[in-house]
Every structure is written in structure tokens, then in C-alpha cells.
């Protein structure tokens, strides 16, 4: 049991390192070409990656979302100059 949880933790750590070092991976839908065949002689950009050829790893997307939630939850104390202009009159 301890060995299994150790292996799981190791795999998670490895994936976290992978997400930090290489956040993008080739699109699975178009296998990194960025195009899709639309008919015989017509080619269109891939719908999944919008022709960018790469997609963000799921772990990295999770990290980015977590950061955004944290930032939105902690930043209101530090108001920007633009916020002051619209909320308070001198
Ligand atoms: Zn694609």
C-alpha cells in the first residue's frame, strides 16, 4: 500500500515538473499539423487548437485557473488607479 501511494506521488510530481517545463503539447485532434481536411481539396484550421498546432496540458490549465482564482480572491485590497477613478470622487 505504501509503495503504491509512493508511486502515485512520484508520478504526480513527474507530471507537475512536465507541466512546468513543457506546458504545451501537440494537439491530439490534428496531431500537431494545425489543419483539417474539409472536403477533397479544401483545408481548414483545426477546430480544437484553432490552427495553433499546440494545446495546453490539463495540469497546466489547472495551475493557471488556480492562480487566476487566487489572484482574483486576494487582489481587491490593492486597488488600481483606474478603479479609484470610477468608484471615488475627489
Ligand atoms: Zn489541432
Say if residues 56 and 26 touch (Cβ distance below 8 Å): no
Please report the pLDDT score of residue 77 as a whole number.
60
pLDDT tens, residue by residue, 37-64: 888 899 999 999 999 999 999 999 999 9
Look up the pTM and report it: 0.64
Residue 73 binned pLDDT confidence (cut-offs 50, 70, 90):
confident
Residue 71 falls within a domain, yes or no?
yes
Residue 30 falls within a domain, yes or no?
yes
Handedness of CA 10, 15, 19, 22 (dihedral sign): positive
d(CA 86, CA 90): 11
CA of 76 to the centre of ligand 1 (A): 37
Residue 1 falls within a domain, yes or no?
no
**Read out DSSP for 5-21?**
HHHHHHHHHHHHHHHHH
CA of 26 to the centre of ligand 1 (A): 8
CA of 44 to the centre of ligand 1 (A): 11
CA of 67 to the centre of ligand 1 (A): 26
Number of domains the chain contains: 1
CA of 36 to the centre of ligand 1 (A): 8
- What range does the domain containing 15 cover? 11-87
CA of 23 to the centre of ligand 1 (A): 16
Residue 5 falls within a domain, yes or no?
no
Amino acid at each position: 500500500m505504501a509503495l503504491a501511494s509512493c508511486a502515485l506521488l512520484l508520478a504526480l510530481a513527474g507530471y507537475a515538473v512536465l507541466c512546468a517545463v513543457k506546458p504545451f503539447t501537440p494537439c491530439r485532434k490534428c496531431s500537431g499539423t494545425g489543419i483539417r481536411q474539409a472536403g477533397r481539396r479544401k483545408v481548414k484550421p483545426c477546430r480544437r487548437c484553432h490552427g495553433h498546432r499546440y494545446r495546453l496540458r490539463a495540469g497546466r490549465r489547472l495551475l493557471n485557473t488556480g492562480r487566476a482564482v487566487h489572484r482574483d480572491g486576494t487582489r481587491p485590497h490593492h486597488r488600481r488607479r483606474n478603479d479609484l477613478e470610477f468608484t471615488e470622487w475627489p
